[in-house]
Structure 1
Amino acid sequence: MKNDNQRIVITGIGLTSPLGNNLAELREGLLTGKSGIVHTEIRHMGVVAAGLCKFDETKHQPKKMRKRGTRAGAISIYCTKEALIDSKIDFDGVDKNRVGVYLGITEHGNVETENEIHDLYNTHNKDVSFWSHHHNPRTVANNPAGEVTLNMGITGPHYTIGAACAAGNLGIIQGAQQLLLDEVDLAFAGGVSESTETFGIFAAFKAQGALGHHEDPPLATRPLDKDRNGIVVSEGGAVYVLERLSDAKKRGAHIYAEIVGYHSNSDATDFVLPNTERQIECMQFAMKKAGLEASDIDIVSMHATGTNQGDIQECQAVAQVFGNSKNTYVNATKGFIGHAMGAAGALELAGNIPSFTDGYVHPCKKIENLDPECAIPNLVNGEKVAHDSKYILNNSFGMLGINSSLIVKKFAQ
C-alpha cells in the first residue's frame, strides 16, 4: 500500500472554456446541455464555427506584460492563478524553488506570428525592421509555462509538453511524476490552447476535409453522430494544483481527486489516423498500473473529436475494453465545447471530476442519429445519469499517434 508521500492529489482547478471560466460554470453547462460553439470571423477563412473563451486577460497580469506575451500565455496565467486561488495555498510561504509548471500544448505563438506576417505584407511593405523584437520569446516552446513563472515568481522547473491533442493529460501526468520523483513539492499542471485566433489550423483541417461546419454552429460538432463532418476548433485551458497527499493533509486542503493510474504510448502507424489496438493497450496499461479491472471504472471520458475514422476507431477500442462492464458509463465532451487541442484532455477531465460529489455522469451532447459503428454499451446520450462514481478514466489521443489515458479516483483516506 502506498504511503501519503506516494499519493498525488488534486487540490485546485483553474480553467477557461467555451462554457465558462470556472469549474462550476463548465459543469453546469455540461449537465444542462448548453453549447459553447458560435460562429466567428477568421482571417482568410470567413465565418467558421468555433469554441471561444471570454475571460479577463488582465485580471492576473498587467496590460504591459500581456502586450509583450501571447494569448496562450494569458490563458496559462489566468488558469494557474485561478487554480492557486481555488487551492487556498498561502503562496507567499511556499519555496518557489520547489514549484514546477508543466503545461501541455499543441502549438502556440501562431496568433502573434500570423498577425506579424499580416502586418509585414499589408502595412509595412515587407520591411522587416518593423518585425516585433518580442517574436522569439513568444514562440519558443516553453513560452506558456515560462510566462506563468515570470508572473508568479516561480523559480522551480517549467516546460511545456508538446503532445498534440494528448497534451492536457500528459501535462497532468508530468506534474504527478515530478512530485513522485521529489523534484518539486507543488505542481501546476494541465493543458492550454490558443487555437481559435489563428487561421492556419482552420485552413489545415478544412484542407483535410475535417473541419466541422453547419449553418447552426452548435451542430458543427457532432461526435459519434452519423451526420458528423469534422472538428470544431476551440481554445481554452485547465490547470491543476497537484500535491503529495502528505502535504495536502498538513494544510487541511480540499481534495478533488487522487491520481491513481496513467499510461501513454504511440501508434507508430500514421500521421493522423488512429490505431485501435494501441488505444486498447493504453487504457489497459493505465488500469494495470492503478491495480484496477475494467469493471472498476465508472466513467470513460472519450476523446471523440467528431471525425469519421477517429470516432469509429476509439469506439471500437472502448467497446473492446469496457463492453462487458455493466457499471461503466461512457461520455464525451467535445459536442459541447469543441476540440480545445492541447487543453482538451485537461478540460474534459475537469468536466467529469464533479461527478464524485454531485452524483451524476454528464452526457454527450444529444446524438440524434448515432452512427451504428459508434454504438457502444452505456453511452450517456443527451441526459445525465445518476451514478455513484469512484473512478474516471480520461482518454486523450493526438496526431502522430500519441495516446494517453489518465485515471483519477474519488478521494478516500
Structure 2
Amino acid sequence: MAAASSLSSLLVSSMALTSPIFQSHCLNNTTCKRGTTMAVSLQTANKPVIHHEKPANKQRRVVVTGIGLVTALGEDPDVFYNNVLQGISGITEIEKFDTSQLPSIFYEWFENMLILSRRPNPFSVPMAGNNMGCAALAIELGWMGPNYIINAGCATSNHCILSAAGHITDGITDMMLCGGSDAGVHPIGLAGFASCKALSKRDCDPTKASCPWDTNRDGIVLGDGAGVLLLEELEHAKRRGARIYAEFLGGSSSADAYHLTRPHPDGIVGCIEKALAKAGVAREDVNYINAHAPSTQVGDLIEFAALVRCFGNNMELRINSTKSMTGHLAGATGAVDAIATIKAIQIGWVHPNINLDNPDKAVDMNLLVGSKKERLNIKVALSNSFTLGGQNSSILFAPLHSE
C-alpha cells in the first residue's frame, strides 16, 4: 500500500510565482529525482555581480511568502488542507505494478542492470545527479545565489528549510526556494523497504493502514510527494507587497549517535530544546505540534515520550500526524508537514488524527487531536522530521506579529 501521487508536475504549483519561465521549466523538465531537495536563492543573472554580502543582522526575520505541493490529497495547498481537515486519506492500493513478490524484484533489477545497452544516453551522467533538479531550475530562472541539495533521509526537507533560512538571516540573500520531493512508490524502493520489514503488512482497507499511535500500527505506508516553500526576509516581503503566510522562527538539527533504525529520546529532546533556544521561544508558548509519527511501533512512542519531556502535560498542546492521511513521503515529508502546519496557523484549524481507533496506552489522548478537526489559535507551532540513522530536525513557525 502507498499514497499515490503524480510527480510529472512536481513543481508546477510549487510557488506563488507566475513567471512563464518557471511554468515552462516545471512542466517540461524531468530531472526531479527521488530524495531530491533544493535550496535556491533569488539573485537574478541579468544584474551586475556584486562582490559583497549584506551585513549579518540579528533582526532579519524570515517569513513564508509562497507554498506549493504535490500529494495524493491535492496539488494545491488549499485543496490539500481542506482534505486533511476532513480526515480524507490519500492512501490506495498500488495498481501500476505487482507487489506480491517485492523482495525478489530488487535482484531481478540488479541482474538487468548488468546488461549494458549498446549506447548509453549522453545525458545519463549529467542528469543522474540529485543536484541537477535545482541546478536546472537555477539555470532557467537565472538565480545565482546558493544552490545545492541536502541528503538527510526523511529529515531532508526540514534541513533544507533550516539552511535556506540561515542564508537569509545571515544576510546572504533575501529570498530562498527550499523543499523536497520523493518518489518511493516504485518496485525497487518498495522492495528495499519490504526487505528491511519497515512497511505496514496489515491486511485491511488501505486507508486504515497508516495509524500513528494506534495499537495496530505495524510500519510505514510509503508515499510519493513534493513540497516547496518560498522563504523571504520580512522587510523585503513587505516592500514588494507579498502575501505572508507565517513567520519562520528557527529550528535545529541533531544526531542520536545511537542506532541505525531505533531512535533515542535524548537526541529528539536535544533537537527540540535547541530549536526552542535558537528561536527564542518559551516551551509553554508552543501549543501545536505536527509530529513525525510514522506509524511504527517504536518510533511513535519514543517521539511522544520526548514531547512530554519537553513540554510536559500542557493541556493547551495539540499534537497530530499528517502521515495518517498522506503516508510517509520520505524526503518530501518535512516540507509537506510544514505546509500543513502553516495552513493550520493561517486558518486556525488543526487536522484530525485518523485511524486512531485503539490508542496505545503509552500516549495521553488529552494531548492528541481526536478524529475530528479542532479549532486552535496557534501561538507557536513545531514540526518534527526524523530519519533512519538518528538524524533529527525540528522547525518552528508562528503567525506574524509586529515587534
Give the TM-score band, short-chain normalised: 0.7 to 0.9
Q: Which amino acid letter does the alignment assign opposite residue 296 of structure 1?
A: D
Shift of 1:208: 1.9
Query: Which residue pairs with 1:75 in the alignment?
Result: none
Deviation at 1:45, TM superposition (A): 2.8
1:65-102 CA distances to partner (integer Å, 9 max, x unpaired)? xxxxxxxxxxxxxxxxxxxxxxxxxxxxxxxxxxxxxx
One-letter amino acid matched to 1:354? K
Partner of 1:33 in structure 2? 87
- C-alpha offsets along residues 307-361 of structure 1, whole Å, 9 cap, x if unaligned? 1111111111112222322211111110100000111011011112122232212
TM-fit CA distance, 1:47? 9.1
SS of alignment partner, residue 403 of structure 1: strand
Distance change >3 Å, CA 373–CA 131, structure 1 → 2: farther
> Would you say 1:20 and 2:67 are equivalent positions?
no
Among 356, 377, 381, the alignment partner of 1:367 is: 356
2:192 matched residue in structure 1: 204
Within the candidate set 178, 192, 203, 2:181 is matched to 192
Aligned twin of 1:386: 375
1:298 CA displacement: 1.6
- The TM-score normalised by the length of structure 1 is 0.78
SS in 1 for 2:67: strand
Runs of 5+ in structure 2 lacking a partner? Answer: 1-55
Q: Distance in 2 between matches of 1:281 and 1:120?
A: 44
Q: Deviations over 1:138-184 (max 9, x none)?
A: 32131232232233333333111101111111111111001122222
The 10-residue stretch of structure 1 (144-153 or 262-271) with the greater mean CA deviation from structure 2: 144-153
Residues 284 and 314, structure 2, Cα contact 8 Å, conserved in 1: yes
Name the residue aligned to 2:281: 292
CA drift of 1:384 comes to 1.2
CA distance in 2, matches of 1:4, 1:280: 26
TM-aligned CA deviation for residue 119 of structure 1:
11
The 5 A counterparts of 1:346-361 are 346-361=335-350
1:304·1:310 contact (CA, 8 Å) conserved in 2?
yes
Q: Which of 221, 224, 227 matches 1:238? A: 227
Matches within 5 A, 1:13-412: 13-41=67-95, 43=97, 45-46=99-100, 121=112, 126-196=115-185, 198-213=186-201, 214-375=203-364, 377-412=366-401
Does the Cα contact within 8 Å between 1:319 and 1:376 map onto a contact in 2?
A: no
State the distance in 1 between where 2:118 and 2:363 align: 54
Deviations 1:197-219 (A, max 9, x none): x3222112212222114341112
Q: Counterpart in 1 of 2:38?
A: none
Q: Take 1:235 and 1:330, find their aligned partners in 2: how far apart are those partners?
A: 24
Q: CA deviation at 1:120?
A: 8.9
Q: Are the counterparts in 1 of residues 64 and 230 from structure 2 also a CA contact under 8 Å?
A: yes
Distance 1:171 1:144 in 2: 14
SS in 1 for 2:176: strand
Q: Distance in 2 between matches of 1:277 and 1:139?
A: 37
Deviation at 1:5, TM superposition (A): 5.5
User: What SS does the corresponding residue of 2:159 show, helix, strand or coil?
Assistant: helix
1:295 CA displacement: 1.3
Between Structure 1 and Structure 2, the one with more helix by share is 1
Is the contact made by 2:214 and 2:355 (CA closer than 8 Å) also made in structure 1?
no
| Match of residue 66 from structure 1 | none
Equivalent position of 1:71 in the other structure: none
- In 1, distance between residues paired with 2:121 and 2:110? 11
Name the CA distance, whole Å, in 2 between partners of 1:335 and 1:130: 45
CA contact (8 A) 1:18 1:337 kept: yes
Matched letter for residue 20 of structure 1: G
Runs of 4+ that moved beyond 4 A: 2-5, 117-120
Displacement of 1:242 in angstroms is: 0.9
Of 365-374 and 274-283, deviating more is: 365-374
Residue 366 of structure 1 aligns to a residue whose secondary structure is: coil
How far apart in 1 are the matches of 2:177 and 2:361? 41
CA distance in 2, matches of 1:342, 1:324: 31
Give aligned-pair identity as a percent. 32
400-409 or 144-153: which moved more? 144-153
TM-score when normalising by structure 2 = 0.80
Q: Which residue of structure 1 aligns with residue 13 of structure 2?
A: none
